Amino acid sequence: MIGGSYGGQIQFIAAAQDPRIDVIVPSLTWNDLNQELAPNFATQAGAAPPPGSAKTGVAESLLRGGEHNPGFSLSQAKQDNGCRKIAPASCQALLHLGEQGRLTEAQRQLLLSRSVKSFVDKIDIPVLLAQGQDDRLAPFNEALKTYQALRARHVPVQLLWHKYGHDTPWDRDGPVGDPGWNFDPDKVEGAFASLQVIHWLDRYLKNDQAVDLGANFNYYRPWSNTPGADSRQVYGQAADYPAGPDRSWYLTADGQLAATPAGPEAGQQLVTRETAGGGGPAKTFTSEQLDKPVDVVGVGKLALSMSSPGTGTVFVTLLDVGPDGAPEVVTKLPSLARFDGEGPVVVDLVGFAHRFAPGHRIQLAVAGSDPGYASGPNPAPVTLVLGGYSARLTLPTVSSN
């Protein structure tokens, strides 16, 4: 089987039940549907994190797609007392998500049951996972979790992280701007990603033992996509994920991303709802100018001690600040992090591949709201504890070439 988005997840569901399926190539799909629709990118030691918040417009978009009606809306669904083509329980979950920005626990369990996370131990056939970088709906994080779960069980699996995703336009040859893909039979030999799929099917469907499958982790490098570049040069390859060593920077009370810890934990900064989209800037932390390129591939992590009188919410974004001071957002979607009480919290950044060039600066932004997510009720202020080793940004890097 081969397919993307819903067509990717259905492969896992089918393969978990039908022994006639020999190999699957799911793309642009989820590990846990809750994380795709209403994510929380935070983890707390010894505590289950609170549920996440809905991505803005995602419920209505899925309702339109499921109903095959571009004009379908939440208000129409309420007027019609539900959906016409979507299963009633799923329809009610999407309606509740669109109206409230949250899911009930019963709805969360329903979505989990529709996710490979809940039955990955039943997947035993070869899997080529393909995920896109231009994708705010299904980020790399979701494919990575499935890849790691299958890899831990020694299931044959590869991870192909290409450019195109749900946000990419298409033309007759395939996704625009990604030289790795081409669906014209006369041009496929020059398309690295297309060939990876063909080789995977040759090996595990045709049982051609002579096929060289190459590396387990293949990733699109945007900085290598120059005019006339061979698609094989545009993609990096590694034996596994991560493709290289981690590199860390430390958050200081005066707004730096420092290469070394700056004294003991001392500085504190307050983040409220008004710090983004409501009249004030986010809290930012910026590195020194880089003297050589830093190539990042994968999921970065922010470790930070935070406290809140209730359920705290922050939004974490990574930016590239050029020599002229102009910032470029490199994480396609801010990482929403919700937590209870106080203590250390680890926030996964949305996966990305990006080169921070010499003369540029790495900037981390922590905000109290973001238009990309549904607003929660009565947000509690959040205090960040800065300085020392505990406030740390860690990025997975690869060698620059």
Is the pLDDT assigned to residue 117 strictly greater than 50?
yes
Is the pLDDT assigned to residue 220 strictly greater than 60?
yes
**What one-character-per-residue DSSP string does 216-235 give?**
SEEEE-GGG--TT--HHHHE
Write down the mean pLDDT value for the chain: 89
pLDDT-derived band at 237 (thresholds 50, 70, 90) equals: very high
- pTM across the whole model: 0.92
- Cα–Cα–Cα angle for 285, 287, 291, rounded to 5 degrees: 170
Tally of structural domains, the chain: 2
Domain CATH number, residue 121: 3.40.50
In this structure, the answer to whether residues 232 and 333 fall within a common structural domain is no
In this structure, the answer to whether residues 216 and 269 fall within a common structural domain is no
The tokens describing 354, both together, are 């990006």
Which of 222, 224, 244, 361 is CA-nearest to residue 291?
A: 361
In this structure, the answer to whether residues 172 and 278 fall within a common structural domain is no
pLDDT-derived band at 266 (thresholds 50, 70, 90) equals: low
Peptide bond into 39 cis (omega under 30): no
pLDDT-derived band at 85 (thresholds 50, 70, 90) equals: confident
User: Which domain, by its residues, includes 337?
Assistant: 246-398
pLDDT-derived band at 276 (thresholds 50, 70, 90) equals: very low
In this structure, the answer to whether residues 159 and 268 fall within a common structural domain is no
Domain CATH number, residue 279: 2.60.120.260
User: What's 47's DSSP letter?
Assistant: B
Task: Examine the fold and report which residue of 189, 212, 238 is the final residue of a domain before the chain moves on.
Answer: 238
The tokens describing 63, both together, are 């309702």
pLDDT of residue 31: 97
In this structure, the answer to whether residues 232 and 109 fall within a common structural domain is yes
Over the stretch 10-30, which tens digit does the pLDDT of each residue have?
999 999 999 999 999 999 999
| Helix, strand, coil % over all residues of the chain, rounded to 5 | 25, 30, 45
Other CB atoms within a 10 A radius of the CB of residue 343 amount to 14
d(CA 335, CA 76): 31
pLDDT-derived band at 375 (thresholds 50, 70, 90) equals: low
Residues, the chain, total? Answer: 401
Are residues 363 and 327 in contact, defined by beta-carbon separation less than 8 angstroms?
yes
In this structure, the answer to whether residues 216 and 340 fall within a common structural domain is no
In this structure, the answer to whether residues 48 and 180 fall within a common structural domain is yes
In this structure, the answer to whether residues 61 and 191 fall within a common structural domain is yes
Task: Examine the fold and report which residue of 218, 238, 258 is the final residue of a domain before the chain moves on.
Answer: 238
pLDDT of residue 280: 47
pLDDT-derived band at 186 (thresholds 50, 70, 90) equals: confident
Map residue 289 onto helix, strand or coil: coil
In this structure, the answer to whether residues 220 and 316 fall within a common structural domain is no
pLDDT-derived band at 275 (thresholds 50, 70, 90) equals: low
Task: Examine the fold and report which residue of 192, 219, 238 is the final residue of a domain before the chain moves on.
Answer: 238
Mean pLDDT of 88-111: 91
Residue of higher predicted confidence among 99 and 79: 99
In this structure, the answer to whether residues 211 and 308 fall within a common structural domain is no
pLDDT-derived band at 60 (thresholds 50, 70, 90) equals: confident
CA atoms within 13 A on the CB side of 84: 10
The tokens describing 59, both together, are 């419920």
Q: Going by C-beta distance under 8 Å and a sequence separation of 6 or more, which residues neighbour residue 383?
A: 268, 269, 270, 271, 306, 307, 308
User: Using CB atoms within 10 A of its CB, is residue 296 exposed (0-12), middle (13-18) or buried (19+)?
Assistant: buried
Residue of higher predicted confidence among 169 and 146: 146
Are residues 138 and 29 in contact, defined by beta-carbon separation less than 8 angstroms?
yes
For the chain, give the percent of residues with pLDDT over 70. 92
pLDDT of residue 39: 96
Map residue 111 onto helix, strand or coil: helix
In this structure, the answer to whether residues 232 and 258 fall within a common structural domain is no
Are residues 335 and 350 in contact, defined by beta-carbon separation less than 8 angstroms?
yes
Is the pLDDT assigned to residue 365 strictly greater than 70?
yes
Which of 81, 60, 82, 80 is CA-nearest to residue 72?
A: 60
Over the stretch 126-141, which tens digit does the pLDDT of each residue have?
999 999 999 888 999 9
In this structure, the answer to whether residues 65 and 83 fall within a common structural domain is yes
Maximum mean pLDDT: which of 77-81, 272-276, 311-315, 356-360: 356-360
- Lowest-confidence range among 22-31, 255-264, 321-330, 359-368? 255-264
pLDDT of residue 108: 96
Is the pLDDT assigned to residue 177 strictly greater than 80?
no
Residue of higher predicted confidence among 347 and 309: 347
